Amino acid sequence: MHVLGTARTDVRVMREATALQQAGMDVSIIDIERDSRRPCQEDVNGIHLKHITMPGWFIPAWFKPWFLIKLAWLVIQGTLKLINTPTDIYHAHDDTALTACYLAASIRGKPLVFDSHELPLTEPGVTRWRLLCFFSRWLLARMMSRCTGIITVSRPIMYELHRRYGGPMATVIRNILSFQTPVPTNMLRDYLHLNPDTRIALYQGNLDSRGLDKLIPAARFIHPGNVIIMMGQGAIQSDIERLILREDVSDRVKIIPPVPYTELLTWTASADIGLVVYSPSTTSTITPNIQMCLPNKLFEYLMAGLPVLASSLDAVADIIRTYDVGLIISSLEPEEIGRAINEMLADHQALARMRANALTATRYDLNWESESRQLIDFYDAIIATCKKKYVTP
């Protein structure tokens, strides 16, 4: 595997690597390590990591002319490490790692897997460089046509990948956590010293620019005794805090720091509903990756038994309707969001039904145990194809 990030902290990368390792495969990952104090190679839970150590000025999130020089250097480093690592299959995590894997797989005549964690080349930081974006899309289509198999995270992205770039139809491997039996707690109320009768609408995750600012004015319309809690941190946290003060809703919107992932569901289970109220647009453009996303927090809410209130996002809405585990709102007007939160929290019978449905769905279907079986089947099919192609009777 190859990823232009730190593998040991990337939950999806390590989940997939561990599943393959437990199925009897040897897995090595070439990744980027910012911590120069770590060894060049190390084993983490049976996975062999080989690091490309990068200085702190490397910023992989933007297409800039200077970044292209850094990217070219990374491609060369990644390709050399991949070629010099004995392997039967190359697995690229996201389009940023695909070029090096494509070169290594072509040079060594090995199968190539492309694991697209989102729809590539659609973010504003990329699309504003039109000529470069056009060339990148042409190159991506060429590399995807060489892939033996493709993986992605949601059905809408699966179809859009194929429509835009061709190549094999992707297999959907959703980024779902392993099954855990939720334990009811009161941790959020205790932490914030809230009344035991307070009803909690929880957003957990990065405080980024995905329309979270719309939740703040919505708080003006929620009933006394209801509260919105944001558990996380991120780039726009200070903006959100200022907006809370400006809207005068500090009694109804609370921000608390993130908790260790191993403790997350215990905190999540103390809320009443989970929020995935994303806006698919920025001030000037529609962002397809938000419209088609299937965020981790959705499955975390459901694993903790929380019904979900979500905006009309394709893959999220499909999960909620299929399993009857929440409500979809078509409008992101603050008054409509506030009214939906009130109505959902007030309907105790519907909440109990959706909570039971969420617990059933995560026990029998929406868990990594189920998803990992699909990953193993995907790899078994590739291995079988390779044996037919490369082994002479």
d(CA 91, CA 364): 29
Q: Check residue 392 and give its pLDDT.
A: 44
Q: Check residue 280 and give its pLDDT.
A: 67
Helix (H, G, I), strand (E, B) or coil at 308: strand
In the chain, what is the greatest distance between 2 CA atoms, to the nearest angstrom? Answer: 76
Residue ranges of domains in the chain, CATH in brackets: 2-176+368-388 (3.40.50.2000), 187-364 (3.40.50.2000)
What 8-state DSSP symbol labels residue 272? S
Residue identified by tokens 């080989």 is 50
pLDDT in tens, 318-361: 999 999 999 999 888 999 999 999 999 999 999 999 999 999 99
Find, among 201, 199, 244, 191, the residue nearest to 224 by Cα.
Answer: 199
Cα 306 to Cα 109, 252, 272, 323: the distances in Å are 48, 20, 6, 13
- Strands 326-329, 308-311: pairing kind: parallel
**Is the model's pLDDT at 66 over the cut of 70?**
no
Neighbour tally for 15: CB within 10 Å: 19
- pTM for this prediction: 0.88
Neighbour tally for 102: CB within 10 Å: 23
**Residue type for position 115:** D
| Residue 78 C-beta-side C-alpha neighbours within 13 Å | 31
Q: What is the mean pLDDT of residues 154-158?
A: 95
Find, among 121, 107, 115, 99, the residue nearest to 148 by Cα.
Answer: 115
pLDDT in tens, 108-121: 999 999 999 999 98
- Among 30-39, 135-144, 169-178, the range scoring the smallest mean pLDDT is 30-39
DSSP per residue, 112-128 = EEEEESS-SS-SHHHHT
Bridge partners, 327 (sequence order): 309
Neighbour tally for 98: CB within 10 Å: 28
